[in-house]
Amino acid sequence: MRPPICDICDARFDLSGEQAGGLVTFKPSPDDQAQLARLKQPGFVGHPPNQEWFCSTHLPMAKALAHLELKEARALIKARQG
């Protein structure tokens, strides 16, 4: 698992802090399916391709877009940032 660094603004945050962000799981893309299957095998480790960390600023938008694939959600959040 990757450390908590926002996928949008690269902010590092403490999970126990007042301004803590969170991990969001998005709809897996077809490409994600194979890697997710490998992650379920014994001894295989890694960060799920459809999960990403978001700071407290970006977390609400990310949660609202969790029904989308990560790539789509990331583009929408960045576009809304201006």
What is this structure's pTM? 0.86
Task: Give the separation between CA 69 and CA 76, rounded to whole angstroms.
Answer: 11
Give me the long-range contacts of 29-38 (CB less than 8 A, separation at least 24). 29/69, 29/70, 29/71, 32/69
pLDDT digits (tens, 9 = 90+) for 15-57: 887 778 999 999 999 989 888 888 888 887 888 999 999 999 9
Domain boundaries, the chain: 1-30+46-82
